[in-house]
Amino acid sequence: MSLQADLNTAYSDFQKAAPAAVVSTFGSGVQALQQTFDTSKAIQPGQALPSFELQDATGHPISSTTLLAKGPLLLSFYRGEWCPFCNLELRALQKRLPDFQAAGVTLVAISPQLPDASLSMAEKNALQFPVLSDVGNKLARQLGIVWEQPDSFKPILTGFGVDWSRGYGDESFAVPIPATILVGADGVVKNVFVDPDYTKRLEPETALEWVKSL
């Protein structure tokens, strides 16, 4: 089964289980984002990836320079460990990790959550690739993929048990629009997938096709 099929099933299950008002609120928020998000303002193929240094799940700093010294990067930006769609995507990438490694590509997941939450994400999904903390969405803002979520989402996510200040270290309520970015060893972006509908993600097989074209 494809990743998108799993995502569609998860969303269908959510629609059936959640109160209609919750489904409507989330749906309206995503629709508004789709109407306002300008993909041309996000990082584009041919542009240089901004340099960065982010903490991994154990709190150790990892720099883009160190990562790129090993070869190309596949960066997956996700919202947080509470997001079922993000969990499905990262598990799907983990399944194909040997294929990425065989091609000399380093897979990296990035979210604005603090290292403790990143560690929880890595352990929950048995991830064997780096999970980095872009606290404050500093890198995501440079890439043009940040979403300032509507306030109407706050009580819903709190009701789902999401403690924003504990998980993110601030009250900004901003998350990256989920994105997958392939960066060559030269630090230049080769391919970008970004969709304001958070239930849509890049298939790992498509990412591997990108890699083959490097």
Q: How do residues 87-110 score in pLDDT, each as one tens digit?
A: 999 999 999 999 999 999 999 999
Q: In whole angstroms, give the CA distance from residue 110 to residue 78.
A: 6
Of 79, 176, 200, 76, the C-alpha closest to 127 is 76
Q: Any idea what the CATH number is for the domain that residue 107 is in? A: 3.40.30.10
Domain that holds residue 72: 3-212
**Residue 131: its H or E element:** strand 131-133
Number of structural domains in the chain: 1
Of 152, 158, 153, 166, the C-alpha closest to 115 is 166
| pTM (two decimals) | 0.96
State whether the Cα torsion 137-143-147-148 is positive or negative.
Answer: positive
Cβ-count burial 134-172 (b if 16+ within 10 Å, e if not): bbebebbeebbbbbebeeebeebbeeeebebeebbbeee
Give the pLDDT band (50/70/90) at residue 148. Answer: very high
The pLDDT, as a whole number, for residue 1 is 78
Q: How do residues 156-202 score in pLDDT, each as one tens digit?
A: 999 999 999 999 999 889 999 999 999 999 999 999 999 999 999 99
Q: How do residues 35-86 score in pLDDT, each as one tens digit?
A: 999 999 999 999 999 999 999 999 999 999 999 999 999 999 999 999 999 9
